[in-house]
Amino acid sequence: MRTPTKGLLGVMAVGLLALALPVQAADVTPKRLLNADREVGNWIHHHRTFDGQRFSPLSQINKSNVGDLQIVATSMLAGIQAGGRYKYAVLEGTPIAEDGFLYVTDGWNNVYKIDVRTGDRATIVWRWDPEQDKDYVASSGCCQARNRGVALWGNQVIQSTMDGRMVGLNKDTGELVWEVKTADNELMESHTGAPLVIGDTAINGVTGAEYGIRGHLDAVDLNTGKIKWTTYTIPAPGEPGHETWEDKYDAWMTGGGSVWQAGSYDPALNLTYWGIGNPSPQFDSEYRPGDNLYTESTIAMDVDTGEIKWHFQYTPNDPYDYDEVGEAQLIDIQIGGEDRSLAVKVARNGFTYGFDRANGQFLYAVQYAEVVNWTTGIDQKTGRPLSYDPNLRGEAQGYVPGTPGRRDGRLSVFCPHLGGGKNWQPAAYNRDTQLLYTSSLEACSAYTTTVGGVGHWADKGNKLGTLKNRHPAGWRGRNSVDRNTPKPLMDSRGSVTAIDPRTGEPVAKVMTRSRPSGILTTAGGLVFSADDTGDIYALDANTLETLWTRNLGTGVAAPPMSYSYGGKQYVAVLVGKAPGSTTRRQYPETAHIQATNMLFVFAL
Give catalytic residues, as residue numbers.
Answer: 321
| Contact status, residue 279 vs residue 257, Cβ threshold 8 Å | yes
Closest CA to 335 of 434, 409, 264: 434
Assess contact for 54 and 42: CB atoms under 8 A: no
Asked if residues 143 and 211 have their Cβ atoms less than 8 Å apart, the reply is: no
By C-alpha distance, which of 34, 74, 32, 65 is closest to 50?
34
Phi-psi region of 319 (alpha: psi -120 to 50; beta: other; left: phi over 0): alpha
The strand order across the sheet containing 506-512 reads: 428-430, 435-442, 493-499, 506-512
The maximal CA–CA distance of the chain, rounded, in angstroms, is 73
The secondary structure element, H or E, covering residue 134 is helix 134-139
CB atoms within 10 A of CB 571: 25
Nearest to 262 by CA among 245, 253, 278, 275: 275
Question: How far apart (Å, rounded) are the C-alpha atoms in residues 539 and 532?
Answer: 17
CA–CA dist 27, 428 (Å, integer): 27
Residue of 191, 203, 253 lying closest to 228 (CA atoms): 203
State how far the Cα of 280 lies from the Cα of 283, in Å rounded to an integer. Answer: 7
- Going by their DSSP bridges, the two strands 123-128 and 526-530 should be labelled as unpaired
Cis peptide leading into 320, omega within 30 of 0?
A: no
**DSSP characters over 418-462:** TTBSS-SS--EEETTTTEEEEEEEE--EEEE--TT---TTTTS--
Closest to 519 (Cα-Cα) out of 547, 481, 561: 561
Q: What's the CA gap between 278 and 143, in Å, rounded?
A: 14
Q: What is the side-by-side strand order in the sheet with 123-128?
A: 5-6, 123-128, 111-115, 101-105, 96-98
Whether the Cβ atoms of residue 403 and residue 298 lie closer than 8 Å to each other:
no
* Strand 145-147 relative to strand 89-91, pairing: parallel
Contacts 24+ apart (CB under 8 A), 457-463: 457/139, 457/140, 457/188, 457/211, 460/84, 460/85, 460/139, 462/84, 462/135, 462/136, 462/139, 463/136
Q: How far is 46 from 54, CA to CA, in rounded Å?
A: 8
Q: What is the DSSP code string of 172-236? A: TT--EEEEEE-S-GGGT-B--SPPEEETTEEEEE-B-GGGT-B-EEEEEETTTTEEEEEEESSPP
Nearest C-alpha neighbor of 293 from the set 262, 257, 324: 257
What residues are paired with 351 via a beta bridge? 367
Backbone torsions φ then ψ of 286, nearest 5 degrees = -65, -25
- Enter the DSSP assignment of 128: E
Phi, psi of 479 (to 5 degrees): -100, 115
